[in-house]
Structure 1
Amino acid sequence: MVRERKAMLVRVSGRVQGVSFRIWTRREAERLGITGWVRNERDGSVAAMIVGSDAALANMVERLWIGPAAASVVSVDTEPVALHDPVQGFQITG
């Protein structure tokens, strides 16, 4: 049986740059079997596209609210997106 994978665009705001948030996100995503990418945005937020099962995505969003020890997350906004091509691995893209 093949698990259905869904994609979600996530934007995390607060003190999330300069605190190893992207490295932490990649580690958590890999632990949960999530593929996609994460990057810093010019406005000080961190954006990520996460791809996985419903349960894995829900778990990842919960983890993003916590973040690494030095982070202070104010908001986590999510938006489902269409997944057209398979995504391999989890990359820090910027």
Structure 2
Amino acid sequence: MARQRYIVTGKVQKIGFRYWTHHIATSYGLLGWVRNLPDGSVEVVAEGDIATLRQFEEELWRGPVSGEITNVNPCETDLDEPLSEFSIR
């Protein structure tokens, strides 16, 4: 299992992006979470196999119909909290 952190920017708040991300992540069987950040971006942490994480990142670039994604930045993560589901924070 691999764990990846993403910072997603663009029109990603107040459009249902977190709920959309939750739906996509759970459909891929990923564990992790999604939350809004004060600067208007969204942070996503996802755990799964590498191939699934790549597909998930492609979905993040597409985003929901109401969104306008300008960047999906995969970041290093040192988060080691145990994950048992994909949640919205």
TM-score by length of 1: 0.89
The aligned runs of 1:19-38 (5 Å cut-off) are 19-38=15-34
Counterpart for residue 9 of structure 2:
13
Counterpart for residue 66 of structure 2:
70
Contact 1:65 1:76 in 2 (8 A): yes
Distance, in Å, in 2 between the alignment partners of 1:88 and 1:34 is: 9
Which 4+ residue blocks in structure 1 deviate beyond 3 angstroms? 82-86
Distance, in Å, in 1 between the alignment partners of 2:74 and 2:85 is: 20
State the SS of the aligned residue for 1:87: coil
Alignment gaps of 5+ in structure 2: none
**Amino acid paired to 1:30:** T
Relative distance call for 1:53 and 1:83 in structure 2 (3 A) is farther
Cα shift readout 1:11-68 (whole Å, capped 9, x = no counterpart): 0000000110000000000000100000000000000111000011001100000111
TM-score by length of 2: 0.94
Contact 1:6 1:54 in 2 (8 A): yes
Counterpart for residue 56 of structure 1:
52
**Amino acid paired to 2:31:** T
Contact 1:6 1:83 in 2 (8 A): no
CA RMSD of the aligned region, Å? 1.2
Aligned pairs, number:
89
